[in-house]
Amino acid sequence: MNITAPLAERMRPKTLDEYKGQDHLLKKGASLRLNLDAGMIPSMIFWGPPGVGKTTLAHLIAHHLKRPFHTLSAISSGVKDVREVIQKVESAGMFQQSGTLLFIDEIHRFSKAQQDSLLGAVEKGIVTLIGATTENPSFEVISALLSRCQVYTLKEHTKESLLEILTSAIAEDVQLKKKKIELKETNALLAISGGDARKLLNIFEIIVGTFKSDKIVITDEVVMQSAQQSIAMYDKDGEQHYDIISAFIKSIRGSDPNAAVYWLARMVEGGEDPKFIARRLIISASEDIGLANPNALLMANNTFQAIQSVGWPEARIILAQCTLYLAASPKGNAAYLAINRAQQLVNETGNLGVPLPLRNAPTKLMKDLGYGKGYLYSHDFPGNFAQQDFLPEEVNGTNFFQAGSSPKEKEIEANIERLWEKKYTK
């Protein structure tokens, strides 16, 4: 073991049994574990936030299955590198013997052409692809490649799993176990880590290094006092990614155009993917503005389309225009709250039956059973409206939409009350 390597690297598990977290995939009887134990795995995409063990899991799978393993980073590799790996595998005939695994980290950064270069090898079984991404693969992986892969979602670490990783490091690491370390308080440490196990271990190592003696007591005060400067240096490689996008969105939500464009500039200067920023603008336009100004979603969607045509550096102007517009726009979250309430009710009540008048009746039998009977075609009535029940009987009259203070939402609420009178007032 290289004792000069960072703590997170020294604590990287060597077997699947040492791997902590992701029980929904790896515990006995779970989907991925069943495939691994059977020795047969499909090409797959690991999707999850930073620090949950995507890269580690790929290496452990190769070790568990005793498969040849090649790794590429989408940041530094291109079509030429992909083709060289595929040609190497073909010429060696390894895929015929044991099935070579090709791991591509941050596969969402691969262009369409780079992803296309993988298709043939994946389809023919020359390589089994394992891609890792922090972005939704439905948006970032081309459909032809995605259809040939199983997507596995890796969940954020829980407080319990992070503490387990930390206590294991204290007990097992060749450097830490020489010291007398007491974890008196851990809230600040866990908060700063942001659920990222790699960040947690590396920050912890930095803090331990500030002590002059081998007797170390970790408290929230110690963490906050001794770690800030070191952590800022540690974050220079992009670990603040999620903190800055959070500040960006909250500035828009808080109607502060100046703060919003500042955080945008931080992301632009840091080399952030413009599509990542634009997607967050689309979400914000709907979650934080929504019905208060429906044009906000149009603006955000057009921004996403425009930056794909323009690219850096001019895309920064388009992003700035949209950012300033959204931050200065009236705010409302009635749509966001409505779908939350509806989903909560669905989870509480299960799959309630569709009322017979609303059911489709493509066959005579269905018509005989009453499917579609009693349905009122709205356009046959004055104002293109007829009062009838559209919800299951068990939840009939439930009000999901509740207007906030924006005039547009109030207008929608008034129209609902005009049409439905007292039905949706509770």
Do 40 and 83 reside in the same domain of the chain? yes
Looking at residue 3, its pLDDT comes to 58
pLDDT of residue 2: 53
What is the pLDDT, as a whole number, of residue 103? 93
Q: Tell me the per-residue pLDDT of 71-88, one tens digit each, with 9 for 90 and over.
A: 888 877 878 888 888 888
Range of the domain at 277: 241-328
Closest C-alpha to 50, from 235, 232, 209: 235
Report the CATH number at residue 277: 1.20.272.10
pLDDT at 236: 36
Q: How many CB atoms lie within 10 A of CB 350?
A: 7
Residue 355 and residue 401 in one domain:
yes
**Burial (CB count within 10 angstroms: exposed 0-12, middle 13-18, buried 19+), residue 368:** exposed
Strand 127-133 relative to strand 44-47, pairing: parallel
* One domain, residues 400 and 301: no
Q: By percentage, how much of the chain surpasses pLDDT 70?
A: 93
Residue 58 forms part of a structural domain: yes
Contact 406, 296 (CB under 8 A): no
Average pLDDT over residues 22-29: 85
Question: pLDDT grade, residue 20 (50/70/90)?
Answer: confident
Beta-bridge mates of residue 133: 47
Give the pLDDT confidence of 154-186 residue by residue, as tens digits.
988 888 888 988 998 888 888 888 888 888 888
The SS3 of residue 66 is coil
pLDDT of residue 237: 41
Q: Which residue has the tokens 């170390």?
A: 216
| 178, part of any domain | yes
Tokens 């995507």 label which residue?
A: 54
181 and 231 both lie in a single domain: yes
Mean pLDDT for the chain?
A: 84
User: pLDDT tens, 182-210?
Assistant: 888 888 888 877 778 888 888 888 888 88
Last residue in a domain, options 106, 138, 153: 153
Query: Which of 56-60, 189-193, 210-214, 221-225 is most confident?
Result: 56-60
Q: What is the pLDDT of residue 97?
A: 46
168 close to 160: Cβ distance less than 8 angstroms: no
Same domain, 190 and 123: no
Asked if residues 105 and 15 have their Cβ atoms less than 8 Å apart, the reply is no
Residue 2 lies in a domain: no
The per-residue pLDDT for range 97-111, each reduced to its tens digit, is 457 889 999 898 888
Per-residue pLDDT, 238: 46
Burial letters 1-27, b for 16+ CB under 10 A, else e? eeeeeebbebbbbeebeebbbbeebbe
Q: What is the reported pLDDT for 4?
A: 66
User: Does 110 lie in the same domain as 77?
Assistant: yes
Among 153, 179, 206, the domain-final residue is: 153
Q: What pLDDT, on the 0 to 100 scale, is given for residue 235?
A: 45
Q: Among 97, 131, 153, where does a domain finish?
A: 153
Q: Is residue 163 part of a domain?
A: yes
pTM of the model: 0.56
Same domain? For 46 and 127 the reply is: yes
Both 70 and 145 in one domain: the answer is yes
Do 32 and 141 sit in the same domain of this protein?
yes
Q: How many domains does the chain have?
A: 4
Examine the pLDDT at 96 and tell me if it is beyond 60.
no
Give per-residue pLDDT as tens, 273-309: 888 899 999 999 999 999 999 999 999 999 999 988 8
pLDDT at site 29 = 81
User: What does the pLDDT read at residue 295?
Assistant: 92
- The predicted structure's pLDDT at residue 228: 56
Give yes or no: residues 36 and 143 share one domain.
Answer: yes
Supply the CATH number for residue 132's domain: 3.40.50.300
> For residue 290, is it within any domain?
yes
Is the predicted pLDDT of residue 94 greater than 60, yes or no? no
Q: Between 133 and 50, whose confidence is greater?
A: 133
pLDDT at residue 61 is higher than 70 = yes
Let me know whether 266 and 319 are in one domain.
yes
pLDDT reading at 331 higher than 90: yes
Residue 76 lies in a domain: yes
CA angle 367, 372, 377 (to 5 degrees): 140
Supply the DSSP symbol for 393. Answer: G
Say which CATH number the domain at 179 has.
Answer: 1.10.8.60
Do residues 309 and 197 share a domain?
no
Burial class (CB in 10 A: 0-12, 13-18, 19+), 422: exposed
Model confidence at 348: pLDDT above 80: yes
pLDDT at 241: 66
Whether 6 maps to a domain, the answer reads no
Please check whether residue 397 lies inside any domain of the structure: yes
Residue 234 pLDDT > 50: no
Strands of the sheet containing 127-133, edge to edge, are 69-73, 100-105, 127-133, 44-47, 150-153
